[in-house]
Amino acid sequence: MTGTAVDLIWLAPAFALLGFVLNGAVAFVRPNAKTVVSIIGAGVLLAAFAVAMVVFRAFVGLHPDEPLIYRYWSWIPVGTLQVDFAFQVDQLSLVMLMVITSVGSLIHLFSVGYMKEDPGYARYFAYLNLFVFFMLVLVLGASFPVMFVGWEGVGLCSYLLIGFWYSDAANANAGRKAFIMNRIGDFGFMVAMFMIFWSVGSLDFDTVFAHAPMALAPGGAAITAITLFLFLGCTGKSAQIPLYTWLPDAMAGPTPVSALIHAATMVTAGVYLVARCNLLFAMAPISSAVVAGVGALTALFAATIALKQWDIKKVLAYSTISQLGYMFLAVGTGAIAGGIFHLATHAFFKALLFLGSGSVIFALHRAYHHTHSHEDAQDMRNMGGLARYMPWTATVMWIASLAISGIPPLAGFFSKDEILAAAHARGHVEPVWFVFWGLGLLAALLTAFYMTRLMIYTFYGPNRTGEKEQPSLHEAPWIMTGPLVVLALLTVTGGLLNVPELYHGNAWLHHWLEPVTQSGAALIPVVPLSPSAEWLLVGIAVVTAIVGIVGAWRLLKPEALVPARSAPEERGFARVLRNKWYVDEIYDALFVRPLVWFSRVVLWQEIDQRIVDAAAVNGAARGARALGWANRWLQTGQVGTYVAVFVVGVLLVLWRALS
Amino acid sequence: MLLNDALVISAILFTLGVAGVLLRRNAIVIFMCVELMLNAVNLTFVALAQTIGVGGQVFVFFVMAVAAAEAAVGLAIILAVYRHKQSVSLQNMNLLKDG
C-alpha cells in the first residue's frame, strides 16, 4: 500500500466484474432491457478507464523502479508453494491496462450500435465485460498462476463470443476449434510453470526473476525448455505457427469481438507474457531465436494468405496474425519496448480496421436484410464503391491501412520500423537475424499490398452489392462512427508514444519500460546502429510500403470483379493461397483424422468394447458364474452331507494337530 | 485302569453319536445322537476331573444345562417341522438347495 491512488488498482477489474454480474442478471431477468445493458456495459468500461487514468497519474508521480505488489489474500498455500492472489502494478502492466481499457471502452461503445438489433444483447455485454475482467487479471497478476487464471478466462470468453450465434453449427465449431487449439498452448504454459516452480521454488514474478539468474544456468537446457514451453503457450493464445489456424475461424463471432479480443487485446497476451518474462528469454538465446524466427515466419506466411482472401474479416484476421508475428520478432530480438509499442499501435489501428469493416458489414447486412437477400455481407466481391456511401468509414479505414502499411508519420510506421531496425541490429551479432529482418521486410511489402487491395475492392470501383440494395447503403450511426474517429486520432498520434531519438524524439515508451526490461536487456548483445544505417533502414521500409501500395493500386482492377455468387474459382498458385496453403487440410489429415481413427478403432472398438466391456466386465461375471457352476455340487441341501464334510474336516484338523 | 476304561467308553459313545448323526435320517434319532455325543464328552470331563482338577465336574453342569435348553429348543423345532411337512426325515428338509 502506497497511500496513493495506485492502491485503487483493484477497482478496474472489479468494475468489469460488476458489469458482468449485472448484465448477466439482466440477461436472465429481462433480456430486452437494452438501455440498461448499454449503460452498464459501456459505463463500467469507462469507469475502469477512468481508474486506469487515475492510477497511471499516481504511478507517474511515484515513479518506482520496483513493481508495486498488492497481496489481497492467500490463494494456494501448499507446503513450499505459496501463491497469493496478488496484483502487480508496474510500467508494463500499466501500458497494457491503458490499452485494454481505452480500446475496450471504444469497442463497447461501438457495440452499442452494432449489436442493437441482436436478441442476445444483454448476454453479449455480459460476456464482453467478463472478458475485460479476465484480461485485466491477466495483465495485473503478480504471479504465473494468477496470470494463468486470466489467461484461461479470456480463452473462455473468446470461446463464448466466437460461438455467440451458436444456433449456426459453423460458429459453434469455430468456438470449439479456438478452445482446443488454445488447450495445446495452455499445456505448454502449465509445463513451464511446473518447471519454474521445480527449479526456482516460487511462482511469483518478482521472486522468479530475482532468483532465476542464480537458479538456472544461462543458455542451459532447463531455461531453454522453460522458455520454449512458455512460447508454446504464446503460439496458442497469440495465433502463431503452428497453432494459428483458430484465429481466422474466430471471425465467426461478432465484429466488435474480433476487434477487441482477436485483434487488440487477448491475442497480444502471448507478447505480453514474453515481455513479462524477458529476463528468462534473454537467458535462453536458442529460445529467443525460436521466438523471433517463428514470429518472422508467421508474419510472412499469414501475409501471403491475406493476399487472396475475399472475406473482409479474414483478410484482417490474417493481417492480425502477421502483425502478431512482428511483435514476436521484436520481443524475441530483445526489443521489448518495440514489441509493446507495436502491440499498442496495432491495438489502435487494427481495432479501427475491424470496427471499420464492422461498419461496412453493418451497412451491407442492413441493405441485404432490407431486400431479404441472403448474399454474403462480408465478401469483398459484394462491396465496391462504398467510399461514396460511407465517407467517414472510408477515411478512417485509409488512415488505418496506411498506418499498418508503415507510412510515416502514422503510428504503425514508427513501431514496425523499430522492430525491423532491432532485428537488423542484432543481425550484426548473430547473422540469422538478417534472415528474420528480410522476412519481416517482405511481409511489410505484402502487408501494404493486401491492405490496399482491401481498400480498393471495398471502397472503389463500381458497386457490386446489387441494384435493389444500393439505396439502403449508408453510413453507420454516430455511436459507431464516433469510436472510429477517436481510434483514427489515436492511430495518427500513437507514434508519439515512442518517437525514436533519430527524429529527436524522446523514445518515451522505451525509457518508461526500462525498469521492466533492463535486467533482460543487459544479457543481450547489441551493436547500436549508426544514424546513417538507421536512415537507410527507414528508407528501405518506407520504399517497400510505397511499392506495395502503388503496386496494388496499379495491378488490381476492381472493375473486373464480379459479385461473389457468380465469381469463378481461382487457378494455380492463387488457389493455394485462397485455400490458406491447405494448412487446415494438412492438420486434418495429420492430426484430426488419425486421432478420430485412433479413438474410434483402437480406444473405442478395441480397448473399450473388447477389453473393458467384453474381457473385464463381462469376463468377471462369466468367471463368477463358472466358479458357481463348479461348486454347486457341494451344495446338496442335505444336512447329512454337510455334517459328513464337517466331520471329515474335524478329523483332518485333529490328525494335523496330533501328528 | 479306571480312567483308561472311562476314556475308551467315552470315545466309543462319541463315535456312535457321530455315526448316528451321519447315517440316520430321522431327526429325533439324530437329536438323540447329539445328546449321546454331549454325554460322551461329559463322561470325559468327569473322568479327567479326578486327575486334573474339579473344573471338569463344574463344566459338566454347564453342559447339562445347555443340553436341556437345547433339547427344549430342538424338540420344538422338530415339532414345528413335523407340523409343516408331516415328516421328521431330514431327506425332506432340503430347502437350502433350490429346486
A604/B90 Cα distance (integer angstroms): 56
Per-residue pLDDT at A173:
93
What pLDDT, in 10s, does the model give residues A312-324? 999 999 999 999 9
Mean pLDDT on A583-590: 92
pTM for the complete prediction?
Answer: 0.82
Residue ranges of the alpha helices (H) in A141-245? 144-162, 169-200, 205-215, 221-237
User: A527-561, pLDDT tens digit by residue?
Assistant: 888 888 889 999 999 999 999 999 999 998 888 88
Of A635, A638, A647, the CB nearest to B18: A647
- Asked whether the predicted pLDDT for residue A522 surpasses 80, the reply is yes
Q: Does B95 touch chain A (CB under 8 A)?
A: yes
Peptide bond into A483 cis (omega under 30): no
In a domain, B99, yes or no: no
**B97 and A639 in contact by Cβ < 8 A?**
no
Query: What is the enclosing helix (H) or strand (E) of A46?
Result: helix A34-62
Lowest-confidence region among A286-300, A382-396, A562-576, B11-25: A562-576
Q: What is the mean pLDDT of residues A333-362?
A: 93
CA A234 from chain center: how many Å? 8
pLDDT at A211: 92
Half-sphere exposure of A122 (CA within 13 A, CB side): 17
Decide if A643 and B21 are in contact by the 8 Å CB cutoff. yes
Whether residue A361 contacts residue A549, with contact meaning beta carbons closer than 8 Å, is answered with no
**B20 and B29 Cβ atoms separated by less than 8 Å:** yes
Beta bridge partners of A71: A86
Rounded to 10°, the helix A336-370/A514-521 angle is: 120
In a domain, B98, yes or no: no
What's the pLDDT tens digit per position in B54-97?
898 999 999 999 999 999 999 999 999 899 888 888 777 777 66
Give the residue numbers in A contacting B (CB under 8 Å), as ranges.
Answer: 635-640, 643-644, 647
Contact: B96, A640; criterion CB under 8 Å = no
The answer to whether residue B37 is domain-embedded is yes
What local confidence, expressed as pLDDT, does residue B1 receive?
Answer: 67
Residue B85 lies in a domain: yes
Q: Which helix (H) or strand (E) holds A83?
A: strand A81-89
List chain B residues with CB under 8 Å of A639.
90, 93
The pLDDT value given to residue A453: 94
Contact residues for A71 (Cβ-Cβ < 8 A; gap 6+): A84, A85, A86, A142
Q: Please state at what angle helix A531-555 crosses helix A432-459, rounded to 10 degrees.
A: 40
pLDDT at A95: 94
pLDDT of residue A63: 84
Non-local CB neighbours of A77 within 8 Å, separated by 6+ positions: A83
Q: Is B67 on the interface with A (CB under 8 A)?
A: no
A635 CB neighbours in chain B (<8 A) are 96-97
How many domains is chain B partitioned into structurally? Answer: 1
Please report the pLDDT score of residue A227 as a whole number.
95
Angstroms from B75 CA to nearest CA on chain A = 17
- Chain B hits for A645, CB-CB cut-off 8 Å, are none
Residues of chain A in contact with residue B93, where contact means CB-CB under 8 angstroms, are: 639
pLDDT of A594 over the 70 cut: yes
pLDDT for B29-54, tens place per residue?
A: 999 999 999 999 999 999 999 888 88
Contacts of B26 in chain A (CB under 8 A): none
Per-residue pLDDT, A502: 81
Sequence letter at residue B84:
H
**CB count in 10 Å sphere of residue A447:** 31
CATH number for the domain harbouring residue B51:
1.10.287.3510
B58, part of any domain = yes
Cα A411 to Cα A573: distance, rounded to the nearest angstrom = 33
> Distance between CA atoms of A319 and A450, rounded to whole angstroms?
9
Whether residue B41 is contained in a domain is answered as yes
pLDDT at A572: 83
Question: What is the pLDDT, as a whole number, of residue A482?
Answer: 93
Return the closest-CA partner of residue A7 out of A61, A77, A58.
Answer: A58
Q: Does residue B81 sit at the A interface (CB-CB below 8 Å)?
A: no
Chain B residues in contact with A636 by the CB 8 A cut-off are 94, 97
Taking a C-beta distance cutoff of 8 angstroms, is the pair A81, A203 a contact?
yes
Closest to A247 in 3D by CA, of A296, A190, A307, A315: A315
* Interval A395-429: pLDDT, tens: 999 999 999 999 988 999 999 999 999 999 999 98
- pLDDT for A507 equals 85
Min Cα distance A642 → chain B (Å) is 9
Average pLDDT over residues A489-509: 87
Q: Which residues of A touch B90 (CB under 8 A)?
A: 638-640
Residue pLDDT, tens place only, A222-278: 999 999 999 999 999 999 988 999 999 999 999 999 999 999 999 999 999 999 999
The verdict on residue B86 lying in a domain is yes
Round to whole Å and give the CA distance between A135 and A141.
10
Domain assignment present for residue B97? The answer is: no
**What is the least distance, in Å, from the CA of A591 to any CA of chain B?**
59
The pLDDT value given to residue A639: 77
pLDDT beyond 90 at A563: no
Name residue, grid cell 498520434. Answer: A493
What's the CA gap between A155 and A385, in Å, rounded? 37
Asked if B22 and A635 come within 8 Å (Cβ–Cβ), the reply is no
Q: In terms of residue numbers, what domain contains B53?
A: 3-92
Neighbouring residues of A268: CB distance < 8 A, sequence distance ≥ 6: A238, A324, A327, A343, A346, A347
Q: Look at residue A573 in the predicted model and tell me its pLDDT.
A: 85
